[in-house]
């Protein structure tokens, strides 16, 4: 593990709208299947909590509120119940040592490990890191001696294994970046002992990642603009994956006015998949049926449950949004 010195303080600055294209938040909850009524109440509302971010990402319930990334601002923010707006939580959150060649320097996906510590995909440092005692410690920054592209999102098993995706989105030129050392877009696992293994290199632009409640299925969202979808893999007893298959094809949903693709995703306690996709957050049954959509009218990056596990927090472009659900996230 590599420890990165960190000199910035946790700063309780409140962030107000600083967007160069300010506009009101719009929303619509769409029901496509009667089963959706068991997940989101007919009178549910989508409530904006904070705004003005450049590209909000990777929310996680942590340290008394929702911590989330602004990938372009190299900053992680925290929103706490009762607050007006969000406060800076970590700055820098991704790239600690300035260096050229990056289009996105901040943290992206966030998670907690079994000990409750904050884990981050750090675009600007090209690693998966842990934040603890005022320092970042890199859990994984190389595979077979080569630097990762830009770890994007992560999911943690109960045994402490961290599974993460590694597209090259953070690099200037993306696939054509001269900084690339690994020629494919990988999905990886790192164990608590620091052992890194490649799970698959067959997906172009793997992005969000999550486990089924029993941790026997691994879901990976694919943000490839030509084939946005959610893949599913069986998780083997040794921690590897097998039987890759398309769980949900979101490409047919792409249409004018429905912005975004499959990016971040989470799973509820019953195994339904809540993935961002065209129009906002798509809610998909465990057998692959589209049940409903939380339409944000924004390109939407990610979501995560918080509070008592029944409030879904959504990072939608400039906005942090919440909606109460009738279910709870897996693990709550």
Q: Does residue 8 lie within any of the structural domains?
A: yes
Q: How far apart are CA 261 and CA 250, in angstroms?
A: 8
Residue 115 has pLDDT above 60, yes or no: yes
Residue 286 lies in a domain: yes
331 located within any domain: no
Residue 61: is its pLDDT beyond 90? Answer: yes
The partner residues of 119 in beta bridges, in order of sequence, read 111, 130
Burial-class residue 26 by CB neighbours within 10 Å (0-12, 13-18, 19+). exposed
21: confidence class by pLDDT, cuts 50, 70, 90: low
User: Which tokens go with 262?
Assistant: 């499959």
Euclidean distance between CA atoms 323 and 104, whole angstroms = 28
Enter the tokens of residue 101.
């060649």
Q: Determine contact, residues 2/122, Cβ cutoff 8 Å.
A: no
For residues 72-101, give the mean pLDDT: 96
Q: What is the Cα 147 distance to its own chain's centre?
A: 21
Q: Which two tokens stand for residue 145?
A: 């001696």
pLDDT digits (tens, 9 = 90+) for 217-251: 999 999 999 999 999 999 999 999 999 999 999 99
For tokens 């949900």, what's the residue?
248
| Residue 178: count of CB within 10 angstroms of its CB | 9
Given a cut of 80, whether residue 92 has pLDDT beyond it is yes
Residue 329 is assigned to a structural domain of this protein:
no
Mean pLDDT score of the chain, rounded to an integer?
Answer: 94
Query: Residue 166 forms beta bridges with which residues?
Result: 186
Is residue 332 in a domain?
no
List, in sequence order, every residue forming a beta bridge with 143; answer none if it has no partner.
146
* Token pair listed for 326: 């009738």
pLDDT tens across 290-325, in order? 999 999 999 999 999 999 999 999 999 999 999 999
Domain around 39: 2-16+27-324
- Coil, strand or helix at 35: helix
Measured in degrees and rounded to the nearest 5, phi and psi for residue 163 equal -105, 135
pTM: 0.94
Residues 200-229, mean pLDDT to the nearest whole number: 98
330 lies in some domain:
no
The pLDDT value recorded for residue 315 is 98
146: in domain: yes
| Number of structural domains in the chain | 1
Gyration radius (Cα) of the chain, Å: 18
Mean pLDDT score, 185-200: 98
Cα dihedral 168→139→91→99 (10° resolution): -50
Query: Which CATH number characterizes residue 44's domain?
Result: 2.120.10.30
Q: Is residue 22 part of a domain?
A: no
């Amino acid at each position: 593990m590599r420890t990165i010195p960190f000199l910035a303080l946790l700063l309780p600055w409140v962030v107000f709208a600083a967007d160069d294209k300010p506009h009101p938040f719009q929303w619509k909850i769409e029901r496509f299947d009667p089963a959706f009524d068991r997940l989101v109440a007919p009178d549910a509302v989508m409530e904006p909590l904070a705004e003005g971010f450049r590209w909000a990402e990777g929310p996680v319930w942590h340290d008394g509120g929702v911590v989330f990334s602004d990938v372009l601002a190299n900053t992680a923010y925290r929103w706490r119940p009762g607050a007006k707006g969000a406060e800076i939580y970590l700055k820098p959150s991704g790239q600690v040592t300035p260096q050229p060649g990056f289009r996105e320097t901040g943290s992206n996906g966030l998670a907690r490990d079994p000990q409750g510590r904050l884990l981050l995909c750090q675009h600007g440092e090209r690693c998966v890191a842990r934040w603890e005692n005022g320092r970042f410690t890199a859990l994984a920054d190389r595979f077979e001696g080569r630097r990762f592209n830009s770890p994007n999102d992560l999911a943690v098993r109960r045994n402490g294994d961290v599974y993460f995706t590694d597209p090259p989105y953070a690099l200037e030129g993306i696939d054509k970046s001269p900084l690339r050392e690994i020629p494919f877009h990988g999905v990886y696992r790192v164990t608590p002992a620091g052992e890194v293994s490649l799970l698959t290199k067959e997906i172009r632009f793997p992005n969000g990642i999550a486990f089924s409640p029993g941790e026997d299925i691994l879901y990976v969202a694919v943000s490839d603009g030509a084939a946005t979808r959610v893949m599913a893999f069986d998780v083997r007893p040794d921690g590897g994956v097998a039987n890759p298959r398309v769980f949900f094809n979101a490409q047919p949903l792409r249409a004018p006015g429905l912005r975004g693709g499959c990016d971040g995703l989470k799973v509820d306690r019953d195994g339904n998949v809540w993935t961002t996709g065209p129009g906002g957050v798509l809610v998909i049954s465990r057998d692959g049926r589209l049940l409903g959509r939380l339409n944000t009218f924004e390109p939407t990056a990610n979501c995560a449950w918080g509070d008592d596990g029944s409030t879904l927090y959504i990072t939608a472009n400039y906005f942090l949004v919440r909606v109460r659900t009738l279910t709870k996230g897996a693990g709550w």
